[in-house]
Amino acid sequence: MEPQQQGRLTAKNLQQHQKQFRELRQFGCQPCNRAWWKTVHAPKFVSRCRKCKVRYDAIPVELQHGRGVFECPCGHRWTNCKAKGQLEQDCKRCGRMVRVTSIGPPPRNPGQRRSANRHSCEGCATGACRFQFVPSKKHQSTGSTVSTTASVVTLASLNPDEGMDLINAAFNRLGFAS
């Protein structure tokens, strides 16, 4: 059996590959007392604070706080700007408690309320749903720059002639003679 043919590496293919490993995550810097959202590469959820220039790991998904999208099995779908990853909200149609489907930054200009329904979640009684600043942990660099092990093509998986052609082409692009 012949191994599957590898696709050619083009700028478009590389862009598509990188896009599938990106996620919107929240970060928080305790010394600067600020939180921000950023789209980062998985599994390395790292961002730098603009003020103090320190690199931080993302806040765990269950502690993120922002605009949440909720989808109930009954078909009702709603958003709420006071959503937290681990808190469920009740569906206004069937009364079932529903966990957030996705969470992101609140809108910059929230404007007026679109619904007369008030926010109600399992944390309202204790105040757990109120904004509580969650700082990120400082990032400990491992020195690795590889996005995933799946994205690495080893020379052993290539035809020897094709592997050398790729290496020579890379050296030529960098200005080295092969």
Rounded distance between C-alpha atoms, residue 42 and residue 54, angstroms: 19
Q: What residue ranges do the domains of the chain occupy?
A: 15-109+117-147, 148-178
Asked whether 105 and 67 are in contact (CB, 8 A), the reply is yes
Q: How many residues comprise the chain?
A: 178
CA dihedral 71, 77, 79, 85 (to 10 degrees): -10
The number of angstroms, rounded, from the C-alpha of 89 to the middle of its chain's C-alpha atoms is: 23
- Spell out the per-residue pLDDT of the chain, length 178, in tens: 444 445 677 778 777 777 777 888 999 999 998 999 998 877 778 999 999 999 999 998 888 888 889 999 999 998 888 888 888 888 889 989 999 998 988 877 766 566 666 777 777 777 777 777 888 888 887 776 554 444 445 544 555 555 566 667 766 666 665 4
For residue 96, what are the CA distances in angstroms to 88, 89, 90?
A: 9, 8, 6
